[in-house]
């Protein structure tokens, strides 16, 4: 049997039926209020039939942290029933339901925010065209946002989730505090590497404190981006220090966010070692690492697991082929779709907002014009 089809048991006793997780992919399909929609829940349902765990798209923990239109909301108690409907749909199909909790920081579009003002560690805009200048967070606001991650975790527990994933990757607020590019503070929250770690660690500890109210098998994961292109920016040395510290504080899993599992450094082209494998080699004996990135076929996944990474997240692959795991398990690998056509939305059960993003973003997905007759 292929390694990724074997069950996996976390140290806290939580069990996955296999080692494939649905990666957290933004789908733009919740209501403007933050409530999940029937189309969104059906999209998750069909992908929950095979995966061992489903990590939802990011859910904002404060109104000022909303980073995408149609984002899942976890910032108000009245959203718990809607969150619960999604958790129930996922769990009924046999997958663990994990809510990814998040704050967009300076990456949040002003038009989605109550006061149209993004916030961050410092008043430094992102290194992209026309990026808004964020407002530097006051110390009291930082404490409020940390508490909001705990409240988001409480809501996830009340809604019946099996765990939460702290989104510390992809240039959003937690990464902004860790990055020397976006964090120019000179107080307790910035300056040295140790001080830049304080916000990620404070969020983790607040989430863990909230998770004490849950079943002992409730999972707390953390997603991380290994490096940044910017100067100054996060280096691999910074990240190895952070993952060691996160591991010491106690995590159920560490999810590495990269476009390509095998890709080397974005900062040093001569360093071709896989960033995921480097993290596995550093902390994999103490915390389960989740790999991801351009692993299209069962053979791709098996090859990536050869270095000891125990869990794999599939994103685009499970959108293109909702039955990826089932077909792999049944020896029907030749039937696994590796591209989609503009006619496939209903067949693949993809909500219209996500579908429009897929077909209108060249190079993101392997899209052919029309299905073959």
Q: What is the pLDDT of residues 46-70, one digit of tens each?
A: 999 999 999 999 999 999 999 999 9
Residue 362 resides in a domain: no
Mean pLDDT of 197-225: 98
Structure confidence at residue 369 (pLDDT): 77
Under 8 Å CB-to-CB from 108, ≥6 apart: which residues? 64, 65, 66, 67, 118
Question: Choosing from 44, 102, 161, 172, which is the catalytic residue?
Answer: 172
Residues 366 and 358: their CA atoms lie apart, in Å, by: 9
Q: How far is CA 288 from CA 12, 22, 59, 211, in A?
A: 12, 16, 23, 19
Sequence length of the chain is 373
Above 90 in pLDDT, residue 297?
Answer: yes
Q: What is the pLDDT of residues 257-296, one digit of tens each?
A: 999 999 999 999 999 999 999 999 999 999 999 999 999 9
> Which domain CATH number covers 199?
3.20.20.70
Q: What is the pLDDT of residues 344-372, one digit of tens each?
A: 999 999 999 999 999 999 999 999 877 66
Q: What is the pLDDT of residues 106-164, one digit of tens each?
A: 999 999 999 999 999 999 999 999 999 999 999 999 999 999 999 999 999 999 999 99
Structure confidence at residue 263 (pLDDT): 97
Residue 23 resides in a domain: yes
Residues of the domain holding 61: 3-338
Mean pLDDT, the chain, as a whole number? 97
Residue 182 resides in a domain: yes
Above 60 in pLDDT, residue 373?
Answer: no
Active site residue 172: yes
Q: Are 58 and 26 in contact (CB under 8 A)?
A: yes
Residue 372 resides in a domain: no
Residue 16 resides in a domain: yes
Structural domain total, the chain: 1
Structure confidence at residue 368 (pLDDT): 87
Structure confidence at residue 330 (pLDDT): 97
Residue 160 resides in a domain: yes
Residue 34 resides in a domain: yes
């Amino acid at each position: 049997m292929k390694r990724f089809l074997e069950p996996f048991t976390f140290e806290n006793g939580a069990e996955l039926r296999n080692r494939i997780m649905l990666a957290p992919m933004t789908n733009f399909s919740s209501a403007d209020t933050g409530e999940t929609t029937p189309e969104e829940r059906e999209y998750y349902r069909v992908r929950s039939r095979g995966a061992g765990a489903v990590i939802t798209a990011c859910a904002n923990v404060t109104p000022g942290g909303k980073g995408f239109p149609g984002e899942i909301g976890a910032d108000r108690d009245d959203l718990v029933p809607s969150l619960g409907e999604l958790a129930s749909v996922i769990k009924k199909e046999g997958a663990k339901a994990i809510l990814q909790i998040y704050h967009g920081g300076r990456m949040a579009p002003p038009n989605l925010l109550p006061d149209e003002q993004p916030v961050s560690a410092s008043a430094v805009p992102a290194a992209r065209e026309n990026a808004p200048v964020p407002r530097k967070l006051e110390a009291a606001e930082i404490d409020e946002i940390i508490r909001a991650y705990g409240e988001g975790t409480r809501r996830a527990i009340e809604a019946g989730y099996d765990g939460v994933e702290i989104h510390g990757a992809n240039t959003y607020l937690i990464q902004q505090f860790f990055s020397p590019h976006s964090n120019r503070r000179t107080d307790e929250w910035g300056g040295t590497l140790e001080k830049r770690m304080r916000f990620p660690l404070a969020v983790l500890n607040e989430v863990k404190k909230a998770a004490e109210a849950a079943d002992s098998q409730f999972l707390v994961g953390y997603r991380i981006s290994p490096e940044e292109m910017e100067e100054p920016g996060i280096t691999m040395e910074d990240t190895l220090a952070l993952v060691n510290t996160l591991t010491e504080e106690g995590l159920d899993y560490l999810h590495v966010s990269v476009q390509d599992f095998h890709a080397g450094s974005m900062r040093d082209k001569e360093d071709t070692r896989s960033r995921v494998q480097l993290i596995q080699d550093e902390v994999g004996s103490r915390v389960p690492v989740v790999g991801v990135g351009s692993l299209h076929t069962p053979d791709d996944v098996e090859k990536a697991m050869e270095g000891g990474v125990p869990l794999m997240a599939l994103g685009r692959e499970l959108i293109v082929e909702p039955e990826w795991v089932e077909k792999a398990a049944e020896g029907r690998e030749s039937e696994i779709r590796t591209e989609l056509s503009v006619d496939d939305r209903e067949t693949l059960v993809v909500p219209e907002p996500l579908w429009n993003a897929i077909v209108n973003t060249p190079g993101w997905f392997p899209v052919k014009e029309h299905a073959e007759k």
